[in-house]
Chains A and B, each alone.
Chain A
Amino acid sequence: MEYEAVIGLEVHVQIKAESKIWTRCRAGFGYEPNTLVDPVIMGLPGSLPVMNKRALDGIIKAGLALNCTIPDQCKWDRKNYFYPDSPNNYQITQYDQPICEGGEVEIELDGETRAVMGQHKKIKLTRIHLENDVGKLNHFAEDSLVDYNRAGTSLMEIVSEPDMHSGEDAFAFLTAIRQTMIYCGVSDCDMEKGQMRADANISVRPVGQQELGTKIELKNLNSITGVKNGINYEIKRQINELRRGNSITQATWRWDADAGRTEHMRDKEDAHDYRYFPDPDLMPVKIDDEWRNRIRSEIPELPFDKQRRFMEDYELPYTITSVLVPDRNLSDYFESAAKQNPKQAQAIGNYVVNDLQRELYESNESLEDCKMSPDLLLTIVNAVDKGVITKQIAKDVFIEMYKSGETADQVIERKGLKPDFDEDQVIAWCKEAIEENPKPVEDFKSGNEKAINALKGQVMKKSRGKANPQAVDGLLRKLLS
């Protein structure tokens, strides 16, 4: 029998904000344990939560970017459970009136090769709600210690419909969420810093069956690749169980990335009764059109829309857009140059994706800090376009410009890279090359097209790389005809 998997994801994303969600206490990562705390974070007697409006702005932005509906009112509920990482032993979350309802995420699956755009589809969302993050437990041989620095960080939970069917779908879903959040400035979604975490609900069923199979909740998916591998492993495991005639029992499993397998954590019977009830310390939040519109106006063009536009307006190949678009700053950089010289958009794209990226990587500089501004980049594109220098020389000129911040012309001038000879001199070099290399000449004449390259190389060498290769090609052909 053929089986298919049905997958829903619960994605936790930390909202980027100076302070925590229920208090002005600073939020951050990498600080000394228990230094980002105050009476509210520590759950001291008498402390009260006060909502951070920045966190609400963040989640509304995320929701609008993911096509959710933002209802007129949302409210806060307490989720009660005892665990040392939760100072109040309840989490403030949204049970039945979340801030974002519905929504969908456009995803792109892998193409046949890296150069080919993959299939696009839309994954439906159930809701997105806001809650506080909890602290972190560190286990040692003798005891366990808690760090409450993370506790109280604004956290949104994006819940998808059971609308995915493979680890690859989930991978693409998380990638799309991550890019959208980064574009909107809502979160950096760094999984290593715990800024994005995902749990998956996975079930399998015979192809054609409408009813969903029994689901397993899979936890500890600590990277986007982990999500893909964990889900694919779990799907295979469940199908194998069913093929062997076993049934699936609803439970929570965890992915062990090192061992490359999933393992049982706890059965459904052990599940908590969270005793949700409305938090009496917080008032419901009313959201009006003015608020929604203000946030909507702050949402930038989203990655897939930008990619489609770059391919259409600038006729960029998919391979360039697939490097440019995931990085909002890089694509903005490209566009501010390309707008000024749209005919050279491809050349600009190539410089950005290849030369600029390489120099940034090697110098470990950020785009904002580097000296190579879009205007500066245009000077080298123009120099090549006008034939002042060859593409080959331009490579070195680019490196010089990147280091010094000079224009292309300044580098060409300083390094003496401008051709210091006229066409007669080039013709003389061509004649010399023909005289000195009878073999390629003979080959070319007997129909070997490629043989001309050997002659061309000689001429370029004589010109110390400064001659225009196209011009040399033309001259050689003329002389040999």
Chain B
Amino acid sequence: MTQEIYYKSASELSSSLSRGELSSVELTKVIIERTEAVDDRVGAFNSFSAEDALAQADASDQRRSAGQALGPLDGIPIGIKDVLAVEGQPLTCSSKILENFISPYDATCIQKLKKRGAVLWGRLNMDEFAMGSSTENSARGATSNPWNLDCVPGGSSGGSAAAVAAGEAALALGSDTGGSIRQPASHCGIVGLKPTYGRVSRFGLAAFASSLDQVGPMGRSVEDVALLLQAISGHDEKDSTSYQEDCPDYSLAMEGLKNRKWKLGLPKEYFANIADATALEPVEKAIEFYRSLGCEIKEVSLPHTEYAVATYYIVATAEASSNLARYDGIRYTHRAEKFDDKDSVDIYCQSRAEGFGEEVKRRVILGTYVLSSGYYDAYYLKAQKTRTLIRQDFVNAYNEVDALLTPTSPSPAFKKGSKSEDPLSMYLSDIYTISANLAGIPGISLPCGYSDGLPIGLQILGQPFKEEELLAIAREFEDAHDYKNQHPNL
């Protein structure tokens, strides 16, 4: 089967580049053409510069012809979620309040990609400040799901997921605070990995909720995701929460773990009361697949699961209310034209009222409330205690099993606009993903089937800093199925 170049995996493209069958400029032109052809329908990008990308590609080709290629990502176009700082490029977080901001510095993960020669490709749409599950909360406008343009791509890294699924980028960086990589990956039929908290530096990632945020890779295959994870992982002295230990060679480690008889747990709380049975079916088949490989499948309990959503929305909004205070209309953000200069706080009120969208305001207000004097103990402190219990649930589960298998999302991608008026039902679409952020553990979502023509994701949750195990387990499934070669018709 011949495949369009734009749908080839990054590892295939990397081989073609190193064999000289393809130049980075040729590849980048293909990606640009593809983007120009489909992005008016998909809407994955907030902005891109073809000229800038081609200049990077040309530099890559020159390195390669001089025998100085920088590794497997050299010359590969990688889309960047518009939440990461790239020197000289806009950084909008899909918010009006940052409409004119150009970052004067690089995020650490961006610096690492530059060192490895990647072609940084465009700014990908997202829910404003990563707050949302549908990429509808964007000042730039909603992104569409390439599998069904009437549906959302998921969020908040919906632009990243859609771009990868539609062949507008070989790989993309996303960020995941409560499922923002895994849920859109699942909705768009691609692979997305949220690393362990601390595995990837947060320096240069515009913060939503600092204790939950992680940057992570998104791609069309497990191997591609491993390649990108390798490039961005590792200790960074600019991030005090960054993990000190070195990371392994993921491709090598993945090989070494091949054919292992894993002990896999099914958290019973995740399988009770699932409304959409058709969405569960592919996940159940995936579980049967692992059983057929000789893996031990075991029911486990995460008893505090029912508190996860409430805990998450207290911790995340509290941190967000403080993190977003810097967007104030004083220095680099949108400033309202009209404000009462006799009133010292009016410049803040007017600029923030104009600059932030509804969901961001809702969360800032909620977060401000839960930290207020007199409410702190009842909300924030209690949520921190519950968070400890949730973390302990996972420690207990991992005493019994190596990893957990769950659905990524309770349903396939939903129709645009269907949940916009009901924030709570939107929040509940993260129900399987947010515990991993609260516990700090890694998780991966990979395509495992369809429901009504829309992709369904299998989530695998692993032990802290054992991303290689997640990748190895995911790859067993991927190798035995054809999902990575299935793409939307656009």
List chain A positions with a Cβ less than 8 A from chain B: 39, 42-51, 78, 80, 82, 84, 87-90, 146, 273, 275-277, 280-283
Contacts and interface: CB of A to CB of B under 8 A. Distances in A.
Given A39-B105, A45-B91, A80-B371, A281 B326 contact: no
B322 A87 contact: no
Interface string B303-343: 00000000000000011011001111011100000000000
A57 B179 CA distance: 40
Which of B211, B240, B380 gathers the greatest number of chain A CB atoms within 10 Å? B240
Given A82-B328, A84-B330, A50 B238 contact: yes
A277 B204 contact: no
B101 A45 contact: yes
Contacts of A281: 207, 210, 240-241
A51 B207 contact: no
A39 to B, nearest CB: 5
B210 A45 contact: no
User: Which of B202, B239, B371 neighbours the largest number of chain A CB atoms within 10 Å of its CB?
Assistant: B371
B27 interface: no
A275 B325 CA distance: 12
A282 B205 CA distance: 16
Nearest to A84: B330
Contacts of A90: 322, 325
Interface in B169-217: 202-207, 209-211
B372 interface: yes
A88 B101 CA distance: 16
B104 interface: yes
A48 B372 contact: no
A44 B205 CA distance: 10
Nearest to B237: A50
B238 A275 contact: no
B126 to A, nearest CB: 13
A44 B203 contact: no
B93 to A, nearest CB: 7
B166 interface: no
10 contacts: A44-B105, A46-B205, A48-B203, A48-B240, A50-B237, A82-B325, A87-B331, A273-B372, A275-B376, A277-B319
Candidate in A90, A273, A275, A276 with the most chain B CB atoms within 10 angstroms:
A275
B326 A89 contact: yes
A389 B371 CA distance: 78
A43 B104 contact: no
Contact of A45 (B206, B239, B318): B206
A42 B380 CA distance: 28
Contact of B107 (A46, A84, A88, A275): A46
A273 B240 contact: no
A146 B327 CA distance: 16
A275 B371 CA distance: 5
Given A89-B328, A283-B240, A283-B241, A277 B376 contact: yes
Nearest to B203: A48
A87 B327 CA distance: 9
Contacts of A46: 84-85, 91, 103, 107, 202-207
Closest 8 pairs (CB-CB, A-B): A89-B325, A45-B206, A280-B211, A275-B371, A280-B210, A46-B204, A43-B326, A46-B85
B142 interface: no
Contact of B240 (A87, A88, A282): A282
A281 B328 CA distance: 21
B91 A50 contact: no
B368 A275 contact: yes
Contacts of B207: 45-46, 281
Task: Please tell me the size bucket of the interface on B.
Answer: 35 or more
Contacts of B205: 46
Given A88-B325, A280-B319, A44 B372 contact: no
B474 to A, nearest CB: 29
Interface in B211-240: 211, 237-240
A46 to B, nearest CB: 4
Contacts of B48: none
Contacts of B85: 39, 44-46
Contacts of B101: 45
A45 B91 CA distance: 8
Contacts of B331: 42-43, 87
Interface string B225-264: 0000000000001111100000000000000000000000
B406 to A, nearest CB: 26
Contacts of A49: 240
Contacts of A48: 202-203, 238-240
Contacts of B328: 82, 84, 89
B283 interface: no
Contacts of B321: 80, 275
Given A46-B205, A283-B240, 8 more contacts: A44-B104, A45-B98, A80-B321, A80-B322, A87-B326, A275-B321, A277-B318, A277-B319
Given A44-B332, A84-B330, A275 B372 contact: yes
B373 interface: yes
A51 B326 contact: no
Contacts of B104: 39, 44
Contacts of B204: 46-47
A212 to B, nearest CB: 22
Nearest to A51: B240
A44 B332 CA distance: 8
A89 B326 CA distance: 6
Contacts of A282: 240
B326 A277 contact: no
Nearest to A277: B371
Given A50-B240, A283-B240, A78 B326 contact: no
Contacts of A47: 203-204
Nearest to A283: B240
B342 to A, nearest CB: 13
Contacts of A39: 85, 104-105
Interface string B73-107: 00000000000110000010100001001011101
B241 A80 contact: no
B55 interface: no
A481 to B, nearest CB: 88
Nearest to A88: B326
B334 to A, nearest CB: 13
A46 B98 CA distance: 13
A114 to B, nearest CB: 47
Given A45-B206, A283-B241, A275 B98 contact: no
B414 interface: no
A169 B202 CA distance: 49
Nearest to B105: A39
A78 B322 contact: yes
A432 B209 CA distance: 99
Residue with the greatest number of chain A CB neighbours at <10 A, chosen from B318, B326, B331: B326
B348 interface: yes
B352 to A, nearest CB: 10
B6 to A, nearest CB: 30
Contacts of A43: 326, 331
A95 to B, nearest CB: 11
B37 interface: no
Contacts of A82: 325, 328, 345, 348
Contacts of B91: 45-46
A107 B287 CA distance: 75
A5 to B, nearest CB: 30
Contacts of A146: 330
Contacts of A44: 85, 103-105, 332
B213 to A, nearest CB: 9
A474 B70 CA distance: 97
A147 to B, nearest CB: 12
A82 B376 CA distance: 19
Contacts of B368: 275
Contacts of B325: 80, 82, 88-90
Contacts of B237: 50
Interface in B364-380: 368, 371-373, 376, 380
